[in-house]
Amino acid sequence: MMYGNMMYGTGFSIWGVILNLLLILLVVGAVVVLLTRSGAINSESQKTADLERLNRLENEVRDTKKMVEEIRDKLDEI
C-alpha cells in the first residue's frame, strides 16, 4: 500500500489559508472583547476610575486621621 500519494484534504490553497487566518482573528477578537467587558483587561476608563476610587479612599483615610487626632486632643483636655 502506498499512502504517500493519498492526499485527501491536505492540498494547499490560498483561500483556505486566508479563511483560517480570518477565523483565528475572529476568535481572538471575540476573546479580547469578552475579557474587556468582564473587566479582566483594564481599559483607560477603568484605570481612571480606579485612580479616582484610590484618591477618594486616601482622602477618607486622611479625614479619619484628623478626626481621631481631634478626639484625642479633646480627651487629653478632659
**pLDDT tens for the chain, residues 1 to 78:** 445 555 555 566 788 888 899 999 999 999 988 888 877 676 667 778 888 999 999 999 999 999 999 999 988 887
Q: CB–CB of 32/41 below 8 Å?
A: yes
What is the pTM (predicted TM-score) of this model? 0.44
Amino acid at 49: A
Q: Which helix (H) or strand (E) holds 49?
A: helix 44-77
